[in-house]
Amino acid sequence: MLAKNPNGFFLMVESGLIDKYAHALDFDRAVYDTIMLDNAVRQTKEWAKARGDDTLILVVADHNHPNSLIGTMNDDMKSVPNVPMRERVGTYEKAGFPNYPAPDAEGYPNRVDVSRRLAIFSAAAPDYYETFRPKLDAPNLPAVEGADKTTFVANEKYKDVPGAMLRFGNLPAMMNASVHSGEDVILTATGPGAERVHGSMDNTEVFRVMVEALGLGSE
Ligand SMILES: [Zn+2]
């Protein structure tokens, strides 16, 4: 509908659940929503290509999270009997490759509770029980309101998950989720004006790239 305007258009689409699930330390769902964003970008690029590439497409995060992929969770680690979940975190050469089933037509594996899966952890968190497993029943809820109604405590729902361990947080107790972090983020661009996107840029420069692509204020 927007493309009917002969003067062009501006459309901003946010895949906001990546952020919300990252706050909740629910990394499986955050990755699924990243796949959804990837699908949206691919469809947009195909749409622009069919028009003759007259559309600037910018893909960028509005901030980072202190969450990183550090290896795999490996349930099949049989070297030690009854090995605690923590000892099943495979890093460096022990990480190997995850064994998710092949992705479906939209790019999603049809299950995430496989025996060797992504190990993603946050560097900023409230007190919470780390289960080292995807939350299949409902999105993760790491901390809940404490008895004093002003601070949050680790959610006991996950306490008895086999191998779960209490991880003490490093955020104020009045916070129930992880937070944003200050790294530079990646900005990718295709289409007219994309050549202006390179190197290290202030975010205010991105505004100029967009304004010029729209033909506004060039005088
Ligand atoms: Zn956020």
- Is the pLDDT assigned to residue 16 strictly greater than 60? yes
Task: Report pTM.
Answer: 0.93
Is residue 35 within 8 A of residue 26, CB to CB? The reply is no
pLDDT average, residue stretch 180-185: 96
What pLDDT digit, counting tens, does each position of 118-145 carry? 999 999 999 999 999 999 999 999 999 9
Torsion of CA 211, 188, 107, 182, to 10 degrees: -100
Q: Tell me the CA–centroid distance for residue 179 and ligand 1, in Å.
A: 7
Q: Are 58 and 99 in contact (CB under 8 A)?
A: no
What is the 66 CA–ligand 1 centroid distance (Å)? 11
At residue 101, φ and ψ (nearest 5 deg) are -65, 160
Cβ-proximal residues to 5 (8 Å cutoff; 6+ apart), any chain: none
Centre of ligand 1 to C-alpha 17, Å, is: 9
Q: Could you state, in order of their start, the residue ranges of all structural domains in the chain?
A: 1-62+186-219
What pLDDT digit, counting tens, does each position of 140-168 carry?
A: 999 999 999 999 999 999 999 988 999 99
- Could you tell me which of 75, 105, 101 has the C-alpha nearest to residue 88? 75
User: pLDDT tier at 83 (50, 70, 90 boundaries)?
Assistant: confident
Measured in Å, residue 24 CA sits from the centre of ligand 1 at 10
- Ligand 1 centroid to residue 78 C-alpha, Å: 38
User: For the chain, percent helix, then strand, then coil, each to nearest 5?
Assistant: 25, 20, 55
- 193-207 per-position pLDDT tens digit: 999 999 999 999 999
| Cα 183 to ligand 1 centre (Å) | 14
Highest mean predicted confidence (pLDDT) among 73-77, 119-123, 210-214: 119-123
- Cβ atoms of 71 and 92 within 8 Å: the answer is yes
**Distance from residue 77's CA to the centre of ligand 1 (Å):** 35
- Please list, in sequence order, all residues whose beta carbon lies within 8 angstroms of the beta carbon of residue 42, skipping any fewer than 6 positions away: none
Neighbours of 97 (CB within 10 A): 7
C-alpha of residue 61 to centroid of ligand 1, in Å: 11
> What percent of the chain clears pLDDT 90, i.e. is strictly above it?
88
C-alpha of residue 180 to centroid of ligand 1, in Å: 6
Whether the CB-CB separation of 119 and 90 falls below 8 Å is answered with: yes
86 CA to centre of ligand 1 in angstroms = 28
Give the integer Cα–Cα distance in Å for 134 and 111.
Answer: 10
CA 50 / ligand 1 centre spacing (Å): 34
> 23 CA distance to ligand 1 centroid (A)?
6
The answer to whether 42 and 107 have CB atoms below 8 angstroms apart is no
Q: What is the H or E stretch that residue 27 is in? A: helix 27-50
Mean pLDDT of 203-213: 92
The pLDDT score that the predictor gives to residue 215 is 86
d(CA 207, ligand 1 centre) in Å = 21
